[in-house]
Amino acid sequence: MPRVSAGHLAARREQILDGARACFSRHGYEGATVRRLEQATGLSRGAIFHHFRDKDSLFLELARQDADRMARVVAEQGLVQVMRDVLADAAGGGSGISWLGTRLEVSRRLRTDPMFRADWEQQSHQLTEAVRGRLARQREAGNVRPDVPIPVLARYLELAFEGLVSHLAMGLPVDDLRSVLDVVENSVRA
């Protein structure tokens, strides 16, 4: 049997993650059956589960990747930029990040699955720390209002993000949300 290169395995893993992201976004966690995952990835269940123990570990890896990417965007551009990216993606003009579908499933599973909640706690902490770090750096530069403690501003932005996610999940209109995000952003500025 020929050996498979590390590059090939890494490419196959990314193929699985890309297809699974689309499948989970389209069908939700429960609706992303193994058959649908096979169709979305173009691979057999054996190939998928060679790389991931089960559907849960596949979803958790996607959610972790999203949290890592969000934390990087937050560190460089702020949580409002993440909100703008999610909104653009939901409105069909996004960068292809597709954070919304994964985030909706994370929110649902946090509410209903105590084991998932325990696994997710570290990722949630990472995003909160990125938000707080960004706000602290921006405050030092004189860009963030000095009259509200950083933890309160961070919580405010996180709640605005969760509210945006809920709004989009309900399929409510998005036409004025860019202006709403401008208000959120301006409300934390000095």
The pTM assigned to this predicted structure is 0.84
Residue 2 is predicted with a pLDDT of: 58
Tracing tokens 């004025």 back to the chain, one arrives at 176
Residue 55 is predicted with a pLDDT of: 92
| Residue ranges of domains in the chain | 1-52, 54-188
d(CA 154, CA 62): 24
CATH code of the region 54-188? 1.10.357.10
Tracing tokens 């501003």 back to the chain, one arrives at 153
Retrieve residue 41's tokens: 């990835």
Q: Return the DSSP state at 45.
A: H
1-52 domain in CATH 1.10.10?
yes
Spell out the per-residue pLDDT of the chain, length 190, in tens.
Answer: 557 688 888 889 999 999 998 898 888 888 999 999 999 999 999 999 999 999 989 998 998 888 888 999 999 999 999 999 988 887 775 554 567 888 888 888 888 888 888 888 877 888 899 999 999 999 999 999 999 999 999 999 999 999 998 898 888 888 899 999 999 999 999 9
d(CA 136, CA 31): 41
d(CA 59, CA 70): 16
